[in-house]
Amino acid sequence: MGNRIKEAIGRYEIRISKALENGKTQAEIAKLALADSMLELATYQGAQSKAFASGRINEEEAALLYQLLGREIPTVEHFNG
C-alpha cells in the first residue's frame, strides 16, 4: 500500500491546477484551502495521534502528518503560511 497522505496531496494538487486554469489566483486558492484556526489545528493533531495509535495510518503516514502539522510547536501561522 502506498502512502495515502501523499496520494491525497496529489489529488489536491490536481484540484489546484484546475482552479488555476479556471482563473483563480494562487493566493485565492491558498486562502480558501488553508485558513484554519488553532482549534482546528489541535483537532487535526488529535486525529493524527488517534489514527496512528489505532493502526488506521502507518508510521510513515503519521510522520508525514506530524511534519505537515508543525511538529512539536505548531502555530496557526506555520500551518496557514
Find the domain containing 29 and state its range. 4-80
Q: Residue 47 pLDDT > 60, yes or no? A: yes
Report the pLDDT value the prediction gives residue 53, as an integer from 0 to 100. 95
Number of domains present in the structure of the chain: 1
With cut-offs at 50, 70 and 90, classify the pLDDT of residue 59: very high
Query: What percentage of the chain has pLDDT greater than the value 70?
Result: 74
Quote the CA–CA distance of 49 and 36 in Å, as a whole number: 19
Q: Residue 51 pLDDT > 80, yes or no? A: yes
Give the orientation angle of helix 26-34 with respect to helix 4-21, to 10 degrees. 140
pTM for the full predicted model: 0.53
